[in-house]
Amino acid sequence: GQQVQQSPASLVLQEGENAELQCNFSTSLNSMQWFYQRPGGSLVSLFYNPSGTKQSGRLTSTTVIKERRSSLHISSSQTTDSGTYLCAMERGAQGLTFGLGTRVSVFP
Amino acid sequence: ETAVFQTPNYHVTQVGNEVSFNCKQTLGHDTMYWYKQDSKKLLKIMFSYNNKQLIVNETVPRRFSPQSSDKAHLNLRIKSVEPEDSAVYLCASSFGGDQDTQYFGPGTRLLVL
């Protein structure tokens, strides 16, 4: 089964609404990373977050590594936030293991 | 700001042909990676490589091979492409070791006819 579970699979928001994306890991991990994937396909790193809470603008990531979970909070969503949000776990030299992503659509 | 560069952006070829994709990073990183994103959008690690070690995902067919001239470059060669190789191939780099951010290139989209 999937080692990285993301929920929800998709999310529709009206501009200005907040959203919470969840990521759960089935195995132990060193750290995790949140990415945003543009419709064209390129990946943008949002957070490298081994533990605790990190904030960047309207985005906040909270990771509880012992509980094998992380969340990404989007506040006051904008249409430009539309895209796919991916979380991935890091286990050393084996590279990242990704979830299937949450597809976010924000409408005006 | 792009610091991991991939060429070509897009490639169309026929079954059985050989293809090669280029990746270069200007971040001074020690480790580079290749990932494959299939039609279901799942990203999977194919290879990770630094000057000491090549780690291959056991599910990767032997027709795939990484090629490196120096630590800033890691190319991907596919010896004889199959239809199921149609996907987006993403290159990434990091300083390696535990707990380090990976930075991704824009990807190369391959279509095998």
pLDDT of residue A28: 81
Q: How much of chain A is in helix, strand and coil states, percent to nearest 5? A: 10, 60, 35
Are A94 and B98 an interchain contact pair (Cβ–Cβ within 8 Å)? Answer: no
Are A31 and B98 an interchain contact pair (Cβ–Cβ within 8 Å)? Answer: yes
pLDDT of residue A50: 86
Mean pLDDT, chain B, as a whole number?
90
A1 touching B, CB under 8 A? no
- Taking CA atoms, B70 is separated from B31, B84, B95, B104, in Å, by 11, 30, 15, 18
B88 touching A, CB under 8 A? yes
Closest Cα in chain A, distance from residue B90 (Å): 8
pLDDT of residue B100: 75
Check: CB of residue A35 under 8 Å from CB of residue A59.
no
**Length of chain A (residues):** 108
pLDDT tens by residue, B29-61: 989 999 999 888 889 999 888 877 788 787 899
Closest Cα in chain B, distance from residue A23 (Å): 15
Are B55 and A96 an interchain contact pair (Cβ–Cβ within 8 Å)? Answer: no
Give dist(CA A89, CA A59) in Å, integer. 19
Nearest to A90 by CA among A32, A6, A47: A32
pLDDT of residue B58: 78
| Tokens 């750290």 belong to residue | A31
pLDDT of residue B26: 95
pLDDT at B1 over 60: no
Closest Cα in chain A, distance from residue B32 (Å): 9
Are A42 and B43 an interchain contact pair (Cβ–Cβ within 8 Å)? Answer: no
pLDDT of residue A90: 83
Are A30 and B31 an interchain contact pair (Cβ–Cβ within 8 Å)? Answer: no
Return per-residue pLDDT of chain A as tens, 108 residues.
678 999 999 999 999 999 999 999 988 877 899 999 987 778 899 999 888 999 999 999 999 988 999 999 999 999 999 999 999 998 766 788 999 999 999 999
